Structure 1
Amino acid sequence: MINAILINICLVLGLLIGVPFLFIYLLSAINRNTKQQIANHFGTPGQIGFGFLGVIIHEASHLLMALVFGHHIDQFRLIRIPTSDNPALGYVHHTWNQRNFYQNMGNLFIGVAPIFGCCLATLGLARYTIPEVYQSLIVTAQQSFNQLNFTVPEFSWVSMLVFLVIAANICIGGFDLSPADYENASQGLLQAVVSLVSLTIIISVTPLAAGFSALLSHFTMIVLVISLFNLLISSLMNFIFRII
């Protein structure tokens, strides 16, 4: 029983924290480099032109999660023109009760919220611009690891171009987590780990264990498929701005 619980804890922490954070790091690193390429070619304001939608979604994701976890919003701006004195493209200033477990744990989700917000935004965009590809992604996300198979369907190149232009704007402006985002997320990591470990122990000694494993596997597959989809878009945009 103890061995099974320990295995479940390792799986939960690896799949719910390890896998998402791997893609969070990769997406952030690639798009930070893309923004640097844009700044080198078009100046700092060029980051607004090529990524304003992503900036808005980025800050809105922070704002929404801060409200969900009961933080007090001091002030926010979803987008702003950067200056030499203040290069920030947007911001959300919030405070919380340091002795509140729930609010402290929320810092983790608030910090990384833009990655999930932008992933969902590009997925929603695909649903309405390239529905054939979107449906294929959904089918793939419902498969198991050993049956993973993605088939590229026929699609309209005009619709694909529209999708890529808008998705590029979302990726460039939205996926880049700042050092402050990482620092904020780290403040809630311990509480999140404690919560996941406690929940896993409770579920592991109940009849819900088998269903929980299936749900965990399904969630991980969804994260994997959506993250790889956005990683492909981000890598393509990074390549384009490198050769300009």
Structure 2
Amino acid sequence: MLTTILINIGLVLGLVIGVPFLFIILLSLINRNTKRQIATTFGINGQLYFGFLGIMIHETSHLVAAIIFGHKIDGWRLIKFPSAEAPTLGYVHHTWRQNSLYQNMGNLFIGVAPIFGCCLAILFSCRLLLPEIYQTITHTITGTASLGSLSLPVNHWGSALLFIIIAANICIGGFDLSRSDFQNAEQGVWQAAFWLVLIAIVMSLLPFQLGFFNWLKQVISVLVVISLFNILISIIVNLLFRIR
């Protein structure tokens, strides 16, 4: 029993924190460099033109997560033109009670919220433009299909092209976590880890633990597929802006 609990703890921590953070770091590094290339070629405002959707989703994700975790919103702006004095493209200023475990834990999810928000936005775009692929992905979560059944949208190249353009815009503007985002997330790591360990222990003692952990694996597998797609799009966009 102890061995099973320890394995489940490692599984939950690895899937919920480890895997997402790996993609968070990779996506941030690639798209930060892309925005630097854009600013060099098209000027500092070029980041808005090529990534305005992603920027707004980025800040909206921070804002929604902060509200969910009970933080006080002191000010926010989803998008703005940067300047030498204020180079940010948007912001969400929030405060929290230092003695609140829940609000402190929330800092982790508030900091990394743009990654999940942008992934959901891309998934929603897929639902609108490529419904067959979207259905395969969602059926994977419910266990009624596998990701191996994904196929190219042979008869929907126009919708596929529009989807890629939207995804590229979201990748450029949304997946670049700032240093303050990472610093904010670090403040909630230990509190989040505590609750995840507690959840893993409790679920390990319940009769439906196998179903829960299989469901968690399926959800993370979908996140991995979407993140790999985002990395591919981010790399292609980065290479395109390097050619000048």
Structure 2 counterparts to residues 123-134 of structure 1, below 5 A: 123-134=123-134
2:75 match: secondary structure: strand
- Could you say if the C-alpha distance between residues 137 and 235 of structure 1 is closer, same or farther in structure 2, counting changes exceeding 3 Å? farther
Confirm whether residue 80 of structure 1 aligns to residue 53 of structure 2.
no
What residue number does 2:117 align with?
117
Structure 1 CA distance, aligned partners of 2:125 and 2:147?
27
1:131, CA displacement in angstroms?
2.6
Task: For residue 168 of structure 1, report the CA deviation from its aligned partner.
Answer: 1.5
User: What residue number does 1:210 align with?
Assistant: 210
- Tell me, in whole angstroms, the C-alpha distance in 2 between the residues paired with 1:81 and 1:147: 40
The answer (yes or no) to whether the contact 2:63–2:92 under 8 Å persists in 1 is yes
Give deviations 1:138-184, integer Å, cap 9, x for gaps: 4566669x984533231422222222222211111111000000000
Q: What is the alpha-carbon distance in structure 1 between the residues aligned to residue 110 and residue 6 of structure 2?
A: 28
Q: CA, structure 1 residues 91+192, in 2 after alignment: closer, same or farther (shift >3 Å)?
A: same
Whichever residue aligns with residue 11 of structure 1, its letter is: L
TM-score (norm 1): 0.93
Alpha-carbon distance, 1:15 to partner: 1.1
Q: Which moved more, 1:228-237 or 1:90-99?
A: 228-237
SS at structure 2 position matched to 1:114: helix
Correspondences of 1:67-216 after superposition (within 5 Å): 67-139=67-139, 148=148, 150-216=150-216
RMSD: 1.9
Q: How many residues align?
A: 243
For structure 2, the 5+ residue unaligned runs are none
Q: Judging changes above 3 Å, is the alpha-carbon distance between structure 1 residues 155 and 233 closer, same or farther for their aligned structure 2 residues?
A: farther
| Native 8 Å contact 1:136 1:153 kept in 2 | no
Q: What is the Cα deviation at residue 136 of structure 1?
A: 4.2
Q: Hey, what does 1:10 align to over in structure 2?
A: 10
1:4: Cα distance to partner?
A: 1.1
Distance in 2 (CA, whole Å) between partners of 1:141 and 1:199 is 20
Q: Which moved more, 1:95-104 or 1:230-239?
A: 230-239
Identity of aligned residues (%): 57
Q: Deviations over 1:189-232 (max 9, x none)?
A: 00000001111112212213222221221222121122122222
- Comparing 131-140 with 66-75, greater Cα deviation is found at 131-140
Q: Which residue of 1 aligns with 2:237?
A: 237
TM-score normalised according to structure 2 size: 0.93
> In the alignment, residue 227 of structure 1 is paired with which amino acid?
S
Q: Quick check: 1:141–1:225 contact (8 Å CA) kept in 2?
A: no
